[in-house]
Structure 1
Amino acid sequence: MSIAYTSLALQTRCFAINKLNVADSRAKIFENIDRVGRHLNGSKGFIGPSVKLVVLPEYFLTSFPMGESLPEWREKGAISATGPEYEKLAEIAQQNQVFLSGNVYELDDHFTDLYFQTSFIIDSSGETILRYRRLVSMFAPTPHDVLNEYLDVYGEDSLFPVASTELGNLACVASEEILYPEITRCLAMRGAEVILHSTSEVSSTELTPKDIAKRARAVENLCYVVSSNTAGIADIDFPAESTDGLSKLVDFKGRVMCEAATGESMVANAEIDIDALRRYRNKPGMGNILSRQRNELFASTYNKSVYPANSMLDKDNKYHVPQRSHFMQTQVDTINALREKGVIK
């Protein structure tokens, strides 16, 4: 049976919870879910029943912390993996018969004082089939910050999950992680065919770093990239349209198939042809970049630490909750170490 369907990068506006108390924040989260559900339902009704895969922007539930401490944001903006928010999202996926992907701040029973930024995929039956925890973040905890303990709990396979589905092999990359080629490459080497990219990023009349990276990740890994950006962020103290527009689908040759302008939009939708991708990946030639990797050459270089793992673990391998200044200080220390090693001048 052939695998071809329409995927939609749904460009919706984000309504921030930062200025709200905890109770009002929780109510706003459900309002945001309901709003996304209406947009999805209307978009599929307009585009047609071929829509089977929908990607939501980063921050669609909450926006991002802006001054809140980790404990404050955990209480206000993070959701349980088994909570009612996921149940509502599952209902939306099931009612519309789509696979639904997005990115949220998520609690974890094994790390009760932390949260992780998590990309998810819910299938058309309402089951959450993939959770990917963001590995590179500037101001939020990641599995890498508590790596030893995280691996003890979840194992190495948890770091780069790929879901084998009726829509092909799906994987997620979060936001600015599109700038880190190693992440998408690790997913591709585990079979990923479609990269679902929830983002909230600057758009411009010029090519931006992330926009270049979307094309690069697609062509170098022979995969589709479905990238959904916010249509601005409201109710927060910076210009709302700073992160707005250019949601897009990129094919496995790095060609932009469709692209939204600014504002809320369903324009970024196009056909994903998994059969065509698989034929190309099986064809010898210079263009088959994925088959021409010589990973042994790079192993020793990548084995050298840059940003340190386990920066939030103590000497007993137990995590602690830092001030947000911890993240900036760790980066400063990393830059100093790179200078001492002669990597940078």
Structure 2
Amino acid sequence: MRPYLAAAIQMTSIPDLASNLQQAEEWIDFAVRQGCELVTLPENFAFMGPEAEKTRLAQEISDRAEEFLGKMAQRYQVFVLGGGYPVPDRQGRVYNTAALYDPEGKEIARYRKIHLFDVNLPDGNTYRESSTVVSGDELVTCEQERLGILGLSVCYDVRFPELYRSLVDRGAQILLIPAAFTAYTGRDHWQILLQCRAIENTCYVIAPAQVGNHYERRQCHGHAMILDPWGAILADAGGEKPGVAIAEIDPDRLQSVRRQMPSLQHRRLACAVIP
């Protein structure tokens, strides 16, 4: 692992697959022109619409999203993370899936979101992700000589610190947290949760995000971010419009913070690892 630039892309995806992929390609192109070697897309990058419609179109979304990710990674010779898209199962539901592709256009890691967003918010919005989505059950890390050891997750996972501690137990140095965080919860919790996951695990955090109005009452917080292992915000795409947060991932900084704050070596309680 050597220093490299990473990008956390911020999108306003809508219920239009072609439009979303075009938007994603434009931001990937921009990030690569800035020198980024790892480009990450948010949850629902390919399609952001009502759950029933997303499930109905899941096979098409999945096929086109995966073709797109492989093509972008190979064309631009970078690593590309698709932060969340529906992959159908055999029972008519889907897995909320994040996939990482290498510069040859090959998939090298696949994560199925473990924690599903079933919440009644005070703003009147109700979310029942489990009505259409099947929970995953595997932790996923991916070691790459150029990038270090990446730990994969998606959105609501960020509220469950035991998941990230388990990823660190498997060697994770960079935590990927693509999201479509609601505007209501994001304004109070998003930044704090990202900083907590960075600080307590002394890891870099790369968190691409959705922003703005997507359909009907669905509005996302934005603030795609990259944070260092001290919890410092290195880049923030803001909360108003699509954009990209770009920052350097530096292995020397990672090791320096872990020497200065060796909390991972001082643990006294066993960590529950998900099989």
Q: TM-score range by the shorter chain?
A: 0.7 to 0.9
Residue matched to 1:74: 55
Q: Which has the higher strand share?
A: 2
Match of 2:173 among 193, 208, 213: 193
The residue correspondences of 1:186-335 to structure 2 (distance < 5 A) are 186-203=166-183, 208-234=188-214, 236-238=215-217, 242-261=219-238, 262-266=240-244, 268-281=245-258, 283=259, 287-296=261-270
Structure 2: unaligned runs, 5 residues or longer: 119-128
Q: Which residue is equivalent to 1:343?
A: none
User: How many angstroms apart in 1 are the aligned matches of 2:21 and 2:61?
Assistant: 15
Distance 2:187 2:200 in 1: 18
1:179 touches 1:209 (CA, 8 Å); kept in 2?
no
Corresponding residue for 1:58? 43
**Partners of 2:183 and 2:248 in 1: CA distance:** 24
Letter of the 1:7 counterpart: A
Contact 1:222 1:277 (8 Å CA) reproduced: yes
In the alignment, is residue 142 of structure 1 matched against residue 134 of structure 2? Answer: yes
What is the distance in 2 between the residues matched to 1:274 and 1:207? 31
| Contact 1:99–1:124, Cα closer than 8 Å, also in 2 | yes
Question: Quick one: distance in 2 between partners of 1:278 and 1:126?
Answer: 31
Q: Distance in 2 between matches of 1:115 and 1:11?
A: 24
Q: CA deviation at 1:85?
A: 3.0
How far is 1:191 from its partner? 0.8
Work out the CA distance in 1 between the residues paired with 2:173 and 2:205.
Answer: 9
**Residue number in structure 2 paired with 1:123:** 102
CA contact (8 A) 2:155 2:179 kept: yes
Decide whether the 8 Å contact of 2:5 with 2:247 is kept in 1: yes
Contact kept, 8 Å, 1:78 with 1:104, in 2: the verdict is no
Deviation (angstroms), 1:203: 4.8
Partner Cα separation in structure 1 for residue 135 and residue 262 of structure 2: 32
Stretches of structure 1 lacking an aligned partner (at least 5 in a row): 17-27, 148-158, 304-345
Q: Which amino acid aligns with 2:5?
A: T
Q: Secondary structure, in 3 states, of the residue corresponding to 1:11? A: strand
The 3 A distance-change label for structure 1 pair 169 and 79 is farther
Q: Distance in 1 between matches of 2:60 and 2:251?
A: 33
What is the deviation of 1:231? Answer: 2.5
Structure 2 equivalent of residue 184 of structure 1: 164
Q: What is the letter of the counterpart of residue 264 of structure 1?
A: P
1:29 aligns with 2:17: yes
Q: TM-score, normalised by structure 1?
A: 0.68
Equivalents in 1 of 2:106, 2:55: separation in Å? 24
d(CA) in 2 for partners of 1:103, 1:79? 14
Greater gyration radius: 1
Say whether the 8 Å CA contact 2:114–2:135 is kept in structure 1: yes
What are the Cα deviations for residues 262-304 of structure 1, in whole angstroms up to 9, with x where unaligned? 20112x11100123313543x3x6x2122222233x66xx99x
Q: Percent identity?
A: 25
